[in-house]
A and B are shown apart, each in its own frame.
Chain A
Amino acid sequence: MRATVTKFLLVPVLMLFLTVSRADDAVVLVTGSEGPLSDISSLDTRKAYLGIAVPVGDNTLRPFRRGKDERLNLIFLQSVIAMSRRSYERRLLSMMLKFGTPRPVEVDSHEELVERLSKNRYGIAYMWKADADADARVKIIRVLWQER
């Protein structure tokens, strides 16, 4: 009985601890540190990730996605794209099926993502602010989401 009560008490305490530990979390939009991009609006970010071409001079924004980080992707879809994961994937599939529009390339690791951004001067990606701060090969364009 006592063990059960302890478990019930531990769960909310643990959740509170996790919430507090992530109070400084933020998701940022980044590009390669050598790239020419300096300011991309939230609207253009949303367009680029929805398969709508966003011109920058004579070039087009090239969005990259980060796979294997469920929380990061969930935050990005909710706060920037404003769609459920299924609706978003269907939208990208539909654009590809109808017009051959390329889907944002999805990469599995931070290292691969940074490599892609280094090679694509007009490439953009989203990542945790802590990861961006720790890597000199990327620069932050804007904060997309901040834990309150």
Chain B
Amino acid sequence: MTHIRRAQSADWQLSVRLCALLLLIVLASHQVARAESQHDVLAFLSIEGFDMFSASDPELEGFDGRATADFLYTYNSDRFRVLAEYIWSDTESELERMQAAWVVDEKTTLWFGRFHTISNYWTTEYHHGQYMQTSISRPGLEEWEDESGPMPSHITGAWLEHEFSLREQSALNVGLSAGIAPKFEGQHLQPFDVLNPTSGHDLAVSTRFVYRPDVFSNNQVGMTISHNDIAVVSASSPELSDLSSITQTTVGLFTNWSWRDWRFASNFVYFDVDLAYTSGEVDDQFFLGYVQAEYAATDDWTVFARTEFGDGEDGSTYLRLLPAVIAHRQMLGVRWDFADSHGLTLEIADTSRQGDDFEHDHFKELRFQWSAVFP
């Protein structure tokens, strides 16, 4: 009990120190450039209900709901920027991002802190801003770590972003990041906890290339490459008892393209995963991808569909460690935007979850959601 109190006390002290340091940095830069500084706060709110139906496994059936509030704070001065994102829901309360940047020039930014990994397209496009994504669900490939996402989502380290201006308002953005990777604990990846810095994590390195034919539009095609050394907490699950580490390399190709009333978003990621068991190494290779199509029927109504698929994923040793990862999904949905910044969305899906061993869990999903952003 005494050890627990000491640990809680240490966490509290470290937390206070981190907040004080951030406050000092903001105040110092505010003093340096008082006339140019700007604070902004956004609140992304959502309430979601989802029902699962399964003819083959009644245990999968059930209704659940979730209310989520995601708060974003940004501070900007001439050469300094702070971004913090905190999410609160009935199932979690977490500081998602806490990053500070030196704006080297108008084309180059150097970030430090905890950020969302640049090798996940969907994550870096929408983060936790549920209102910003048309669909309610995220593709299984791009799920968060605690939702059995197969790739790291949170990195603590440094991230350099530079934009090369090309001809006729086109641009190439290059990002490079290096930092502390999540570790594998229980049945999912566990990101580095800044309040517990001795928790045992390895290195993650990512790079991203994005070509935008017109900087005024959101059209883009890109490539991501990541290499993640993932430490394993062998004692956290019987499945991990003889697994000492995971080395994951990914190569992804993504696109986001709008044409008239249509929009297409896709990401295809190749995984090469080496699992170091005491009995020897297992080399696991598979591929996951999705395509989402959206049609804006009117200014307020959007119809959308997404297909998620893979190759080699059914027999993957690595994915077997993530029983809740979504392996396949065929989804249809409709969204109504109203009152400037509110959305109501309905989604139905035919889904396969990885499940235990090599047996998938099959079920249908019905989701509905209200989402909004303030102010």
**Residue A13 CB within 8 A of the other chain:** no
Q: Which of B204-254 contact A (CB under 8 A)?
A: 215-216, 218
Known: A47-B216, A52-B215, A53-B107. 10 other contacts (CB 8 A): A46-B216, A47-B215, A54-B106, A90-B132, A91-B218, A97-B129, A100-B82, A102-B40, A105-B38, A120-B35
A74 CB–B CB distance under 8 Å:
no
Contact with B along A83-127 (1 / 0, CB 8 A): 011100111011011111111010000000000000110000000
| B101 interface residue (CB < 8 Å to A) | yes
Query: What are the nearest 7 A-B pairs in CB distance?
Result: A53-B106, A100-B83, A100-B74, A102-B76, A102-B38, A55-B106, A97-B129
User: Is the C-beta of A62 less than 8 angstroms from some C-beta in chain B?
Assistant: yes
Query: Residues of B within 8 Å of A, CB-based: how many?
Result: 34
Write the nearest CB–CB distance from A64 to chain B, whole angstroms: 11
**Chain B residue nearest in CB terms to A50:** B216
> Would you list 7 pairs from A and B whose C-beta atoms are within 8 A, ordered by A residue?
A85-B340, A94-B132, A96-B72, A97-B126, A97-B132, A100-B101, A102-B40
Alpha-carbon gap, A90 to B371, bound state (A): 14
Closest B residue by C-beta to A83: B216
Judged by a CB distance under 8 angstroms, whether A19 is at the interface is no
Measured between beta carbons, the chain A residues less than 8 angstroms from B83 are 99-100
Which residues of chain B in 341-375 are interfacial with respect to chain A, using CB atoms and an 8 Å cutoff? Answer: 341, 373
A146 close to chain B: CB less than 8 A: no
Partner of A86, one of B99, B129, B215, B299: B299
Interface residue ranges of B9-52 to A (CB < 8 Å): 35-36, 38, 40, 42
Pairwise interchain contact B106-A96, C-beta atoms closer than 8 A: no
Given A52-B215, A55-B106, A120-B35, A100 contacting B81 (CB threshold 8 A): yes
Q: How far is the CB of A112 from chain B (nearest CB, A)?
A: 15
A101 to B38, CA, bound (A): 10
A25 and B178 alpha carbons, distance in the complex (Å): 54
CB-nearest residue of chain A relative to B82? A100
Give the docked Cα–Cα distance between A84 and B298 (Å): 13
Question: With the chains together, A90 CA to B204 CA distance in Å?
Answer: 31
What residues of chain A lie closer than 8 Å to B373, measured between beta carbons?
Answer: 93
Q: Does A42 contact B (CB under 8 A)?
A: no
Report Cα–Cα, A16/B125, bound state, in Å: 47
Q: Say yes or no for B306: interface residue by CB 8 A criterion.
A: no
B residues near A78, Cβ cutoff 8 Å: none
State which of B38, B125, B216, B299 has its C-beta within 8 Å of the C-beta of A98.
B125
Q: Contacts A96-B72, A100-B76: A84 and B299 contacting too (C-beta < 8 A)?
A: yes
Chain B residue with Cβ nearest A99 = B109
Contact indicator B42/A93 (Cβ below 8 Å): yes
Using a CB-CB cutoff of 8 Å, which residues 299-316 of chain B contact chain A?
299
Q: Which single residue of chain B is at the shortest CB-CB distance from A55?
A: B106
Q: Are B106 and A97 in contact (CB under 8 A)?
A: no
The answer to whether A96 and B78 have CB atoms under 8 Å apart is no
* Chain B: minimal CB distance from A68 (Å): 14
A residues near B169, Cβ cutoff 8 Å: 43
A38 part of interface (Cβ distance < 8 Å) = no
A116, chain B: closest CB distance, angstroms: 10
Query: Residues 33-50 of chain A: 1 if any B CB is under 8 Å from the residue's CB, otherwise 0?
Result: 000000000010011001
Residues of A within 8 A of B337 (CB): 86
* Residue B124 lies at the interface, judged by CB distance under 8 Å to chain A: yes
In the complex, the chain B residue whose C-beta lies closest to that of A53 is B106
A97 with B72, Cβ < 8 A, contacts A60-B106, A102-B40 known: yes
Q: Which residue from A54, A62, A91 sits with its C-beta under 8 Å from B36?
A: A62
Residue B114 at the chain A interface, CB threshold 8 Å: no
- Asked if A60 meets B35 with Cβ closer than 8 Å, knowing A96-B42, A96-B72, A97-B129, the reply is no
Nearest-CB residue, chain A, relative to B124: A98
For B76, what are the chain A residues with a Cβ–Cβ distance below 8 Å?
A: 100-102
B215 / chain A contacts, CB cutoff of 8 Å: 47, 52
